[in-house]
Amino acid sequence: MDAQRARWHDEHEAEVLAHRESRAAKIAAGRRPTPRNIWRGLTSSRMLTSFLVFGLLLSAGVIPAILALRTTQEEGIEPELVRRIQVGLQQGSDLDGEGFDLLELVNGGELLSITSTAEGDHGPNRLHDGLFDPQFTAWRSGGRDFPLTAIYQVRFRTPVRKVVIWNHPDEPEASYIREFEVLASLEDPRTHPDALVSIGRFTAASPESKLVFDVDTPVPIRYAVLRIISTFGAADYASAAEIGLFSESRDAEQAPIPKPPAPLNI
């Protein structure tokens, strides 16, 4: 009787051990990174639940945070801070899908001088703060003394490939920029005006909310001069929600800038 019981015990132990080994082998096989196992993991209820929870957190957190920033000017928060928060949340400074704006404040663009501008809520920073939404006020000039000239210094020496102007719906269309010119230089035009070269003179066909102008010969710049020549009507001032000089990225391309045939007056 004792021998029979011992034999049953040994057989049971062997059966349990075999079951454990078989289960371990199945678990190990299921963890191998095979296409079938990867697909099974992605479509599992646990993974789908994780995606759902992450989507809910995203929609309840980051997206409303970005949208909420659009109304913060009414709460007294500086627009420049709003834009920096937007860039931080989005992990990039691509502006409205147009690329990298060399003039934008958050990208190191600096306004050195401007011949005519309003102050306060319609001051010169509104030209290049990266906030063209209707919730933020537009830039206005101080009058109609054309041409109006603004000189910028940029941080990244990358070729300008296009110019984009956003107009503000609360401003009269007569104040929208119609004709303008962009000049560029690697030296400060305030002390070296003969180093300026025109990279384009542009005329808008109609007063659209957004205007995009391609530059025929993209060149790297260090300084940019914007000359506003005319508007669409006889408004008391010129206006714009945003003006940007765009490159594909901030990475510098070491291409020589062409020298002007003669000094250009600014």
- Which CATH number does the domain housing residue 198 bear? 2.60.120.260
Same domain assignment for residues 105 and 154: yes
Same domain assignment for residues 128 and 204: yes
Indicate whether 78 belongs to any domain: no
Same domain assignment for residues 50 and 148: no
Same domain assignment for residues 148 and 219: yes
Rounded-to-integer distance, Cα 64 and Cα 192, Å: 48
Using only C-alpha atoms, what is the Rg of the chain? 31
The token pair at 80 is: 């420049």
Comparing C-alpha atoms, which of 188, 179, 186 is closest to residue 213?
179
Indicate whether 101 belongs to any domain: yes
Render each residue's pLDDT in the chain as its tens digit; 266 residues: 556 666 655 666 667 566 666 666 666 666 666 776 666 665 665 655 555 555 554 554 455 545 545 555 455 567 777 888 888 877 778 899 999 999 999 999 999 999 999 999 999 999 999 999 999 999 999 999 999 999 999 998 889 999 999 999 999 999 999 999 999 999 999 999 999 999 999 999 999 999 999 999 888 899 999 999 999 999 999 999 999 999 876 554 443 444 444 444 44
Question: If DSSP states are collapsed to H, E and C, what string results for 206-247?
Answer: CCCCEEEEECCCCCECCEEEEEEEEECCCCCCCEECEEEEEE
Same domain assignment for residues 109 and 54: no
Indicate whether 40 belongs to any domain: yes
Same domain assignment for residues 36 and 158: no
Indicate whether 229 belongs to any domain: yes
Domains held by the chain: number: 2
Indicate whether 171 belongs to any domain: yes
Rounded-to-integer distance, Cα 18 and Cα 12, Å: 10
Same domain assignment for residues 129 and 222: yes
Same domain assignment for residues 136 and 230: yes
Indicate whether 230 belongs to any domain: yes
Same domain assignment for residues 121 and 235: yes
Same domain assignment for residues 54 and 120: no
Same domain assignment for residues 33 and 141: no
Q: Which domain holds residue 18?
A: 2-60
- H helix or E strand, kind and range, residue 25: helix 2-31
Same domain assignment for residues 55 and 125: no
Indicate whether 233 belongs to any domain: yes
Burial of 83-116, coded b for 16+ CB within 10 Å and e otherwise, reads bbbbbeeeeebebeebbbbbbbbbbebebeebbb
Indicate whether 254 belongs to any domain: no
Do the beta carbons of residue 146 and residue 175 sit within 8 Å? no
Q: Strand runs (DSSP E) across the chain, as ranges? A: 100-101, 110-114, 139-140, 148-153, 162-166, 177-185, 197-203, 210-214, 223-231, 239-240, 242-247
Q: Write down the pTM of the prediction.
A: 0.68
